[in-house]
Amino acid sequence: MVDNQVLSTSHLVAIRYLSEHDILRILDYATLIKQHPSNFHDRLKGKILALAFWEPSTRTRLSFEIAMLRLGGSVTGFSSSVGTSLEKGESLSDTITMLANYADGIVIRHPLRGSAKLAAEIAQKFGVPVISGGSGSQEHPTQALLDIFTIREFFGRLTGLNIALMGDLRYSRTISSLLLALSKFGRNTINLISHPSLRLQEELRLDLQETNLELIETEDLSDVISEFDVLYVTRLQKERFPDPMLYQKVKGSFQLHPSLLKSAKDRSLILHPLPRVDEIPYEIDRFPQAKYFIQAKNGVYIRMAILDHLLGDESVE
Amino acid sequence: MNKKEEKTEKELIVAKIDNGIVIDHITPPGRAFYALKALNIDENFPHSVFVAINLPSRKFGRKDLLKIRNMKREDLNIEKLGLLISGSNIAYIKDYMIIEKEKIKTPKRISGVIKCPGLNCITSRHEDVDPEFIVLNEHQPISLRCVYCDAIFNVHEHISLML
Ligand SMILES: [Zn+2]
């Protein structure tokens, strides 16, 4: 028997609100699911998950859908605001109130910060759990959990690692959640590789100040290429640059070149939240360190663990 | 400042009020303007208001003082005042007598008194939510953190967002 009702919260809106203990319980439960997925095939039989996606998404939405189906539940919802009442200006508050009346759980992705927290407060009145699938540039908690799941699976630990983060560190909710997640564990060295205009948000920097993370800033991947245990690459978005010329000029500096990777440690990981554009060329996929597709697959186990925790009954055989 | 000048400044202080409130020891000087804004006192306010800025004070060097006729405890949002003039004292006056005194404290958490300046914050849209903040420091100038979008900002730089 494994007790699965041990989270200190009945929603998952941000890594910020999770304890180290919460995170470890989710990772352990996901490990168990990954070992014997068939044991969990009817955990959420008869339950319905509503996917409320105000922003387009392929990976996160599919991953939640598959996780719910693998647990024996069903899925409904909407994706992006085209063709829904959201286009007519229906508020998040009203939409969530309606969904909380219909479904057993809600996954929300929304372009504004604070959206997942507000959704959780509203759905709480109906006893319906809310899971964030991304709230603006703020957080993407399930992504961070699958990231650290992959790191722990490979290294067997979440401390004493040299982790390099490259690309858009400012507007990437994935980066914010990953750093907040890592900050709950022991000492790690974090190399931040970005263009000066895409450095960490000030607020996040403040949050990380009192933690065990050692933050080191650089603009050049070659500074850390032979040292990293994990290289986490994110996509640069053209619209984040004040001037498209600047984007064209700097994007090459944050691409991974096969020649550069020859100096990387054999036992290291290259991760990416996907989708990628050209920051990781296809040649890199053949390197043994490239693990982004395994990382994406782990997303299903992590989301199964979270859905089971929040929507499921108390214990599992 | 010589004795004579000090005496002249003292004489400037207006007479006692019959009914209302007196907010004293407002520091640093100039903060009384923020307090007026927080109290929604503008050209439409129907009662007499005495505003004294930059008065000599033995304890603080300089301070501000407000006397507002016919304002009562229930007309005040003490938490809102606590964001701007914490440490000041309020005296409630009835028939020229002080009936109650209170020190304005900085709140720990605050909701519904100021809007979030975060451009991408869900509370800035037409939604069923009151802006809510954690107060980060006890002493002026006070910074707030939005519990929704995590933005951190300084209250008196965003006085126009007061509700
Ligand atoms: Zn906010």
pLDDT tens digits, residue range A97-148? 999 999 999 999 999 999 999 999 999 999 999 999 999 999 999 999 999 9
Residues β-bridged to residue A232: A165, A271
Give B9: exposed, middle or buried? Use CB within 10 Å, 0-12, 13-18, 19+. middle
What are B38-97's pLDDT values in tens digits? 898 999 999 999 999 999 988 889 999 999 999 999 999 999 999 999 999 999 999 999
Does domain A15-139+299-311 fall under CATH 3.40.50.1370? My reply is yes
Say which of B118, B121, B127 has its CB closest to residue A91: B127
CB contact under 8 A, B129 and A111: no
Higher pLDDT, B58 or A304: A304
**Which CATH fold topology does B109-161 show?**
SH3 type barrels. (2.30.30)
Say which of A94, A114, A206 has its CB closest to residue B122: A114
Say which of B127, B149, B152 has its CB closest to residue A138: B149
Closest residue in B to A120 (Cα–Cα): B148
ipTM, two decimals: 0.91
- For B119-154, letters b (16+ CB in 10 Å) and e give ebbbbbeebebebbbebeeeebebebbbbbbbbbbe
Say which of B128, B149, B152 has its CB closest to residue A114: B149
Q: Please state which of the four CATH numbers 3.10.20.310, 3.40.50.720, 3.40.50.1100, 3.30.70.140 is assigned to the domain occupying B10-103.
A: 3.30.70.140
pLDDT at B11: 58
Minimum distance, in Å, between the CA of residue B129 and any CA atom of chain A = 7
Residue B57 CA to residue B37 CA, distance in Å, equals 24
pLDDT band at B3 (very low <50, low <70, confident <90, very high): low
In the 8-state DSSP scheme, what is residue B121?
Answer: B
- In DSSP notation, A273-296 reads -S--SSSS-GGGGGSTTB-HHHHH
CB contact under 8 A, B122 and A110: yes
The answer, yes or no, to whether residue B27 has pLDDT greater than 80, is yes
Which class would CATH give A141-296?
alpha beta
Structural domain boundaries of chain B?
10-103, 109-161
Mean pLDDT over residues A195-221, rounded?
Answer: 93
Minimum distance, in Å, between the CA of residue B126 and any CA atom of chain A = 7
Active site residues per annotation of A = 59-60, 88, 109, 140
Amino acid symbol at A237: Q
B156: nearest Cα among B103, B42, B63, B80:
B80
Q: Which residues from A are below 8 Å from B147, CB to CB? A: 114, 117
Secondary structure in 3-state letters for B63-97: EEEEEEECCCHHHCCHHHHHHHHCCCEEEEEECCE
Q: What's the predicted TM-score (pTM) here?
A: 0.91
Residue A139 CA to residue B145 CA, distance in Å, equals 16
CB contact under 8 A, B127 and A118: yes
Confirm whether A15-139+299-311 and A141-296 share one CATH topology: yes
In chain A, % of residues over pLDDT 90: 82
CB contact under 8 A, B122 and A138: no
Mean pLDDT over residues B15-42, rounded?
Answer: 92
Backbone angles phi, psi at B113, to 5 degrees: -115, -15
Q: Answer whether A199's CB lies under 8 Å from A268's CB.
A: no
What radius of gyration, in Å, describes the C-alpha atoms of chain B?
17
Residue B96 half-sphere exposure toward CB, CA atoms < 13 A:
2
B51 touches chain A (CB under 8 A): no
The total of other beta-carbon atoms located within 10 Å of residue A201's CB is 18
Q: Which of residues 121-160 of B touch A (CB under 8 A)?
A: 121-123, 125-129, 145-152
Minimum distance, in Å, between the CA of residue B35 and any CA atom of chain A = 28
Closest residue in A to B128 (Cα–Cα): A93
pLDDT band at A317 (very low <50, low <70, confident <90, very high): very low
Structural domain boundaries of chain A?
15-139+299-311, 141-296
Query: Which uninterrupted H or E stretch holds B35?
Result: helix B31-38
The total of other beta-carbon atoms located within 10 Å of residue A271's CB is 26
Closest residue in A to B150 (Cα–Cα): A203
